[in-house]
């Protein structure tokens, strides 16, 4: 075929090279696409990773994001000097920070959020905000605030608009004077939520003096934020801070790893790193294998040409270079496709990111180092794959090469017994003999196909896992519809009042208290939840998915906390309350539970009340709500000054499910395409090579009167057999991949359960089978067009 004429200056060998490549363009492209798959995944992951890390670093640096947060009850402003004197503290700020409930026009549900103070007449030296529009609130003005951009956009708020908020029990009408972003709210999410809901989470910044006055913190603060000096010891600073602030009701400082927004970014970064390091090697290993197979075949078919070239005086090195050039071209094409695809995909994903991660500016920067690295790795993989094949070209002796090769010897193949079984027909026997004669090739083909299926299972399992997480979290563990928290702990009667609110079908009280759990030298800071012993609405679940029964006198821990503290069921740990009179108690661990999302420590509410030496006091309540009457309840909650926060479980679940639905289709497509690339690369090349090697046999069969169907059986039966063999192998590999990815993707925030639903296996098998069938049919078309006479006439 002559689609283009080659320029005259091209050396004859190079012309041959280009014609060879053109003749095997299908196979060459299949390999190039597998390479492109690996390259693009790496570039997307590396690019997003470095973009995200670099953007975050620059943002935090420029706006002086804190390293430590030290919440407390109330401390005098003068303490700031002592905080600044702690060794390792580079800058420190005090501020007032309170929860708030927003009553937004046109929205039935109450929105929750926080209000932060901004220093009067000065920029804070820690945790600055990015004022996008408008101005800062004037000092002392209780009716002015800057609002978080995402909340403003979700409600169409603009400068001059007003917002009604319940702040620390007091109702305020606030005018928006500015719109801002903040490094503390890159991933703007309410506590207890998993997916941001811009409508339901608001943040305001008010003048320090005005906010202090509103929440009874005149001349005082309730949170210190600290930036560390270069090389400072974070733990030491934290200990010094805790020691200094403990008298003021501080439960203990926490770092960025427990800062919700930053923890989400870190978790994303970890996942990108995992993806970027697990997937590309799979692609490139497959590409190396394919290069080996295809170039081996090319060298075998061109034996005579190689002999001639050598006879004409070309050196071995020239011959080797000739074939390496072919491989090089495939590699470069793969790289080019992969780079283009990777950058496009990266930009696409970056724009998805900006919906969830609010940076002042986030653009996808293709990672130059990533490109260099992936180019080098591709070169090594593809070159390595080619090396073995090309070495054969070097060792061919000219005289020997010019004789036609003897028929391949099947007499010494393994498994002669099996393939000689009398009930086999001859065609099936040919298939089996081909496999046992070239077992390595058959194994690689099977494994290649298996890898493609495994890739699908190993990635799409995440959807099953997330479904399981949602189901367990919302439908088994936390079955309440609404969680209400009070501004301050209140008596049981406040809980009963809530029960009689409109629409409430039932409920359970809870008492939450900040604690430090200690076991030996290990310590974890967290919130201890006291719930009724027979709680039905807020439960912990064990590994078998059954609710863990609370027992008086014992604490139930989530597995991650138990692991961090190195305690097991039956051992005793120390519960040190970091609030009020700070009681300390040794408590046996009653059970260790599984939690997919977040961590937890549960005790019976009566035990918590007893521990705190208080009466039947509650921090809030979990409520079951009549879904037809939610609006009435919401109206009631918005009007209650005692209510500090409201968690709407149904909205949270809906947001999670929406997010899944949005990204589900895309994820399935992307991974199906990637897995398909591998399967096509392996199957098409395998069948195509088999076809060219056995063309003569197949033509002979046609001459003997076998129909096209019967002849394709021999060609396609082999790959069908190897694909069937690949299915269980792929299932196993995929299960392993899913297991290790579930490990790798689990973080502080959530643990990915190792769950694979049967349909995921089915889907993977289906994709593999369809791809095999399509690749087979492509070659079958060539088989149908085969010129019998021409094939048989050639001496080869």
Partner 1 sequence: MPRRRGAGAPRVCYIGAHAIEARRRPRAGAARGSLRADPPDENLCFKTEGLTKVYGSGPSAVHALRGVDLAIPERELVVLLGASGSGKSTLLNILGGLDRPTSGRLLFRGQDLTNASQRELTLYRRRHVGFVFQFYNLMPSLTARENVALVTEIADDPIPPEEALALVGLEHRLDHFPSQLSGGEQQRVAIARAIAKRPSVLLCDEPTGALDSATGVRVLEALQNVNETMHATTLLITHNASVADIAHRVITFSDGHVREERLNAVRKRPSELSW
Ligand X SMILES: Nc1ncnc2c1ncn2[C@@H]1O[C@H](COP(=O)(O)OP(=O)(O)O)[C@@H](O)[C@H]1O
Q: Which residues of 74-105 are buried (b: 16+ CB within 10 A; e: fewer)?
A: ebeeebeeebeebebbbbbbbbbbbbbbbbbe
Of residues 50 and 434, the one with the C-beta less far from partner 1: 434
Annotate 10-36 with DSSP letters as a single string: S-HHHHHHHHHHHHTHHHHHHHHHHHH
Q: From the CB of 702, what's the least distance to ligand X, in Å?
A: 16
- The one of ligand X, partner 1, none whose footprint includes residue 248, by CB under 5 to 8 A per kind, is none
| CB neighbour list of residue 279: distance below 8 Å, 6 or more residues apart | 38, 41, 42, 45, 455, 674
Task: Verify binding: residue 697, partner 1, rule CB under 8 A.
Answer: yes
Burial of residue 679 (number of CB atoms within 10 Å: 0-12, 13-18, 19+): buried
Q: From the CB of 27, what's the least distance to partner 1, in Å?
A: 23
CA 395, CA 400: separation in Å to the nearest integer? 11
Q: How many Cβ atoms sit within 10 Å of the Cβ of residue 313?
A: 8
CA diameter of the chain? 102
Task: Verify binding: residue 783, partner 1, rule CB under 8 A.
Answer: no
Q: Which residues of 297-312 are buried (b: 16+ CB within 10 A; e: fewer)?
A: bbbbbbbbbbbebbee
Q: From the CB of 795, what's the least distance to ligand X, in Å?
A: 14
Q: From the CB of 399, what's the least distance to partner 1, in Å?
A: 20
CA 713, CA 437: separation in Å to the nearest integer? 18
Residue from 570, 696, 743, 759 in contact with partner 1 (CB under 8 A): 696
Task: Verify binding: residue 1, ligand X, rule CB under 6 A.
Answer: no
CA 40, CA 339: separation in Å to the nearest integer? 6
Residue from 7, 106, 313, 406 in contact with partner 1 (CB under 8 A): 406
Q: From the CB of 314, what's the least distance to partner 1, in Å?
A: 29
Of residues 661 and 787, the one with the C-beta less far from ligand X: 787
Task: Verify binding: residue 790, ligand X, rule CB under 6 A.
Answer: yes
Of residues 351 and 794, the one with the C-beta less far from ligand X: 794
CA 603, CA 612: separation in Å to the nearest integer? 13
Place of tokens 């920070």: 97
By rule CB under 8 A, what string of x and - marks binding of each residue 370-399 to partner 1?
------------------------------
Of residues 8 and 785, the one with the C-beta less far from partner 1: 785
By rule CB under 6 A, what string of x and - marks binding of each residue 359-378 to ligand X?
--------------------
Of residues 26 and 717, the one with the C-beta less far from partner 1: 717
Of all residues in the shown chain, the one whose CB is closest to ligand X is 790
CA 244, CA 236: separation in Å to the nearest integer? 12
Contact between 669 and 512 under an 8 Å Cβ cutoff? The reply is: no
Residue range at the interface with partner 1 (CB under 8 A); choices 85-93, 183-191, 611-619, 698-706: 698-706
Residue from 74, 141, 392, 429 in contact with partner 1 (CB under 8 A): 429
CA 638, CA 640: separation in Å to the nearest integer? 6
Of residues 11 and 790, the one with the C-beta less far from ligand X: 790
Burial of residue 793 (number of CB atoms within 10 Å: 0-12, 13-18, 19+): exposed
By rule CB under 8 A, what string of x and - marks binding of each residue 67-106 to partner 1?
----------------------------------------
Count of residues of this chain found to bind partner 1 when the rule CB under 8 A is applied = 35
Residue from 185, 358, 433, 441 in contact with partner 1 (CB under 8 A): 433
Contact between 93 and 124 under an 8 Å Cβ cutoff? The reply is: yes
Binders of partner 1 among residues 407 to 426 (CB under 8 A) are 407-411, 425-426
Of residues 377 and 436, the one with the C-beta less far from partner 1: 436
CA 383, CA 387: separation in Å to the nearest integer? 6
CA 738, CA 736: separation in Å to the nearest integer? 5
- The one of partner 1, ligand X, none whose footprint includes residue 742, by CB under 5 to 8 A per kind, is none
- The one of ligand X, partner 1, none whose footprint includes residue 697, by CB under 5 to 8 A per kind, is partner 1
Question: Is 513 in a helix, a strand, or coil?
Answer: strand
Q: What Cα–Cα distance (Å) separates residue 52 from each residue in 40, 226, 329, 706, 707?
A: 17, 23, 33, 61, 60
Tokens of 34: 């597998």
Task: Verify binding: residue 691, partner 1, rule CB under 8 A.
Answer: no
Count of residues of this chain found to bind ligand X when the rule CB under 6 A is applied = 2
By rule CB under 6 A, what string of x and - marks binding of each residue 730-769 to ligand X?
----------------------------------------
Task: Verify binding: residue 706, partner 1, rule CB under 8 A.
Answer: yes
Q: Which residues of 236-259 are buried (b: 16+ CB within 10 A; e: fewer)?
A: ebbebbbebbeebbbbbbebbeeb
Residue from 418, 710, 762, 770 in contact with partner 1 (CB under 8 A): 710
- The one of ligand X, partner 1, none whose footprint includes residue 790, by CB under 5 to 8 A per kind, is ligand X
Contact between 323 and 299 under an 8 Å Cβ cutoff? The reply is: yes
Of residues 377 and 791, the one with the C-beta less far from ligand X: 791
Q: From the CB of 424, what's the least distance to partner 1, in Å?
A: 9
Query: C-alpha angle with apex 17: 12 to 19, nearest 5 degrees?
Result: 95
Residue range at the interface with partner 1 (CB under 8 A); choices 167-175, 302-310, 428-436, 535-543: 428-436
Q: From the CB of 420, what's the least distance to partner 1, in Å?
A: 8
What is the C-alpha R_g of the chain? 34
By rule CB under 8 A, what string of x and - marks binding of each residue 711-730 to partner 1?
--x---x-------------
Task: Verify binding: residue 792, partner 1, rule CB under 8 A.
Answer: yes
User: Which H/E stretch holds residue 553?
Assistant: none
CA 678, CA 693: separation in Å to the nearest integer? 22
Contact between 776 and 691 under an 8 Å Cβ cutoff? The reply is: no
Of residues 427 and 735, the one with the C-beta less far from partner 1: 427
Q: From the CB of 703, what's the least distance to partner 1, in Å?
A: 5
Of residues 311 and 421, the one with the C-beta less far from partner 1: 421
Q: From the CB of 695, what's the least distance to ligand X, in Å?
A: 15
Task: Verify binding: residue 795, ligand X, rule CB under 6 A.
Answer: no
Of residues 440 and 790, the one with the C-beta less far from ligand X: 790
Q: From the CB of 796, what's the least distance to ligand X, in Å?
A: 16
Closest to 560 (Cα-Cα) out of 752, 741, 751: 751
Place of tokens 């010891």: 233
Of residues 572 and 707, the one with the C-beta less far from partner 1: 707
CA 124, CA 140: separation in Å to the nearest integer? 17
| Cα distance from N-terminal residue to C-terminal residue, the chain | 21
Closest to 201 (Cα-Cα) out of 219, 188, 218, 187: 188
Task: Verify binding: residue 795, partner 1, rule CB under 8 A.
Answer: yes
Tokens of 211: 């906010």
Summarize as ranges the residues that interact with ligand X (CB under 6 A). Answer: 789-790
Summarize as ranges the residues that interact with partner 1 (CB under 8 A). Answer: 406-411, 425-430, 433-434, 437, 696-697, 699-708, 710, 713, 717, 788-789, 792-793, 795
């Amino acid at each position: 075929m002559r689609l283009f004429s080659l320029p005259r200056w091209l050396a004859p060998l190079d012309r041959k090279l280009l014609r060879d490549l053109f003749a095997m363009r299908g196979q060459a492209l299949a390999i190039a696409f597998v390479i492109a798959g690996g390259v693009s995944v790496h570039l997307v992951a590396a690019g997003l990773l470095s973009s995200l890390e670099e953007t975050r670093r620059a943002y935090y640096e420029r706006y002086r994001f804190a390293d430590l947060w030290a919440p407390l009850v109330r401390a005098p402003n003068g303490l700031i000097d002592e905080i600044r004197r702690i060794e390792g503290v580079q800058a420190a700020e005090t501020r007032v920070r309170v929860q708030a409930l927003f009553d937004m026009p046109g929205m039935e549900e109450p929105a929750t959020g926080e209000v932060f103070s901004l220093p009067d007449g000065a920029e804070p030296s820690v945790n600055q905000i990015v004022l996008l529009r408008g101005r800062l609130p004037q000092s002392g003005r209780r009716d002015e605030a800057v609002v978080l951009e995402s909340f403003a956009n979700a409600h169409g708020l603009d400068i001059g608009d007003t917002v009604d908020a319940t702040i620390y029990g007091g109702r305020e009408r606030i005018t928006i004077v500015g719109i801002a972003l903040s490094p503390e709210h890159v991933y703007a999410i309410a506590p207890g939520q998993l997916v941001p809901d811009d409508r339901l989470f608001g943040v305001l910044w008010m003048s320090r003096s005005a906010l202090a006055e509103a929440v009874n913190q005149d001349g005082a603060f309730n949170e210190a934020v600290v930036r560390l000096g270069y090389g400072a010891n974070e733990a030491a600073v934290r200990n010094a801070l805790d020691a200094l602030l403990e008298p003021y009701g501080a439960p203990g400082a926490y770092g960025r790893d427990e800062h919700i927004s930053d923890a989400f970014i870190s978790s994303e970064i970890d996942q990108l790193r995992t993806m970027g390091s697990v997937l590309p090697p799979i692609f490139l290993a497959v590409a190396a294998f394919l290069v080996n197979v295809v170039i081996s075949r090319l060298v075998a078919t061109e034996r005579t040409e190689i002999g001639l070239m050598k006879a004409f005086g070309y050196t071995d090195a020239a011959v080797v270079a000739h074939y390496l050039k072919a491989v090089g071209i495939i590699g470069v094409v793969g790289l080019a496709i992969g780079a283009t695809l990777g950058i496009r995909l990266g930009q696409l994903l970056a724009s998805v990111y900006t919906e969830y991660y609010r940076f002042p500016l986030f653009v996808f920067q293709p990672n130059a180092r990533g490109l260099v690295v992936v180019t080098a790795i591709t070169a090594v993989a593809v070159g390595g794959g080619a090396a073995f094949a090309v070495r054969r070209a070097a060792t061919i002796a000219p005289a020997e090469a010019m004789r036609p090769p003897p028929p391949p010897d099947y007499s010494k193949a393994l498994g002669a017994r099996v393939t000689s079984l009398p009930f086999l027909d001859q065609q099936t026997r040919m298939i089996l003999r081909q496999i046992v004669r070239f077992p390595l090739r058959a194994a690689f083909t099977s494994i290649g196909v298996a890898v493609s299926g495994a890739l699908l299972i190993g990635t799409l399992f995440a959807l099953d896992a997330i479904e399981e997480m949602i189901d367990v979290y919302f439908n088994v563990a936390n079955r309440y519809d609404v969680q209400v928290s009070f501004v301050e702990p209140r008596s049981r009667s406040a809980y009963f009042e809530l029960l009689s609110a409109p629409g409430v079908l039932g409920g359970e009280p809870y008492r939450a208290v900040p604690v430090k759990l200690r076991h030996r030298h290990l310590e974890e800071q967290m919130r201890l939840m006291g719930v009724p012993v027979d709680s039905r609405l807020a439960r912990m679940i064990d590994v078998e998915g059954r609710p863990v029964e609370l027992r008086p006198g014992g604490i139930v821990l989530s597995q991650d906390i138990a692991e961090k503290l190195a305690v097991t069921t039956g051992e005793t740990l120390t519960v040190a309350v970091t609030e009020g009179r700070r009681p300390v108690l040794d408590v046996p661990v009653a059970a260790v539970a599984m939690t997919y999302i977040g961590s937890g420590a549960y005790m019976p509410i009566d035990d918590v009340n007893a521990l705190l030496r208080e009466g039947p006091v509650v921090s809030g309540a979990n409520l079951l709500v009549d879904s037809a009457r939610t609006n009435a309840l919401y109206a009631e909650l918005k009007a209650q000054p005692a209510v500090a926060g409201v968690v709407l479980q149904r909205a949270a679940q809906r947001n999670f499910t929406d997010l899944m639905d949005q990204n589900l289709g895309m994820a399935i497509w992307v991974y199906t395409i990637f897995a398909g690339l591998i399967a096509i690369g392996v199957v098409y090349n395998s069948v195509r090579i088999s076809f060219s090697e056995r063309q003569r046999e197949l033509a002979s069969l046609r001459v003997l009167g076998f129909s096209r169907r019967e002849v394709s059986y021999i060609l396609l039966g082999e790959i069908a057999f190897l694909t069937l063999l690949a299915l269980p192998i792929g299932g196993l590999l995929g299960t392993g991949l899913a297991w290790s990815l579930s490990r790798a993707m689990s973080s502080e925030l959530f643990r990915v359960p190792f769950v694979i639903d049967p349909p995921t296996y089915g889907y993977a098998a289906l994709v593999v089978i369809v791809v095999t069938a399509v690749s087979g049919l492509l070659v079958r078309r060539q088989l149908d067009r085969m010129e019998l006479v021409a094939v048989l006439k050639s001496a080869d």
